[in-house]
Amino acid sequence: MKMKLKNPNEIEVSLVFPAYNERENLENTVRSAMKALEKIAKSYEIVIAEDGSTDGTDKIASDLSREYSCITHIHSDKRLGRGLALKNAFSKTKGKILVYMDVDLATNIEHLRELVESVRKQYEFATGSRMHPKSKVTRSRSRQIASKSYNFMARSFLGSKVADHQCGFKASKRDALLTILEDVKADHWFWDTEMLVRASRKGYRIKEIPVKWTQKGRTRMRLIKDSFEMGSQILKLWWETRKQLD
């Protein structure tokens, strides 16, 4: 494979993988991403935001970073949470287009080209949308109901126009994301939603693209507890916004 080496002055796309206990998926996913980026980007880097893993993910990430100069491994000794791990990683990237996706590749990586092209050509933000009419989604009925309910609540309380806030497949222009990064306070799963809501309120354009999405194995989200917690964070952000307007 022809490698596109990291050059701080020439990196077009930075792809971040938030990784917590992803030993079984990480290496294959990173190699798949490299193949895809070779066809899409003029130059790229991959950042593995390894978040206090206990299953050997840290060793795999470290080995990959030694093998390929385009890969950086950021390790945390303790669990930061998905949101803080992403926030920390993005602050250390160098690309003009910033991308992140889940390591399990629940979203088919074939959509990476359209995701990047959306930001490259017109939009400040782009996200995969499992709610798009053209999307092909395979998941349990309970998760489908929970997702629709959550997104309805986010739109109703936060005034969002986005149909699917939580798909772990997003891209943005560097300057746009860094403008709002410090304002995004969520440290875990709600980070995705808060990021899009704050981007929308800044007037940034958000493109939702249809995707093939398949629920992979045992999800890390605990349906009842996490749904309640994220619902509470919607209300917290709504209250914060309301106070700012008063």
Q: pLDDT tens for residues 28-69?
A: 999 999 999 999 999 999 999 999 999 999 999 999 999 999
Position 233 confidence tier, pLDDT thresholds 50, 70, 90: confident
Domain ranges of the chain: 13-241
Q: pLDDT tens for residues 85-112?
A: 999 999 999 999 999 999 999 999 999 9
> What is the arithmetic mean of pLDDT over 100-125?
97
Contact 18, 98 (CB under 8 A): no
Per-residue confidence (pLDDT) for residue 1, from 0 to 100:
44
> What is the arithmetic mean of pLDDT over 111-129?
97
Is position 192 annotated as part of the catalytic site?
yes
Pick the CATH number of 13-241 from 3.90.550.10, 3.30.930.10, 3.40.640.10, 3.30.70.1400: 3.90.550.10
Q: Where are the beta strands (DSSP E) in 7-43?
A: 13-19
pLDDT surpasses 80 at 132? yes
pTM of the shown model: 0.90
> What is the arithmetic mean of pLDDT over 10-24?
96
Catalytic residue chosen out of the listed positions 51, 104, 164, 192:
192
CB burial string 198-228: b at 16+ within 10 A, e below? bbbeeebebbbbbbbbeeeeeeeeeeeebbe
- The whole-angstrom separation of Cα 235 and Cα 120 is 34
Per-residue confidence (pLDDT) for residue 10, from 0 to 100:
82
Q: pLDDT tens for residues 172-230?
A: 999 999 999 999 999 988 999 999 999 999 999 999 999 999 998 655 555 556 666 77
Percent of the chain past pLDDT 90, that is, above it, reads 81
- The whole-angstrom separation of Cα 127 and Cα 111 is 10
Q: Which of 238, 220, 167, 184 is nearest to 25 (CA)?
A: 220
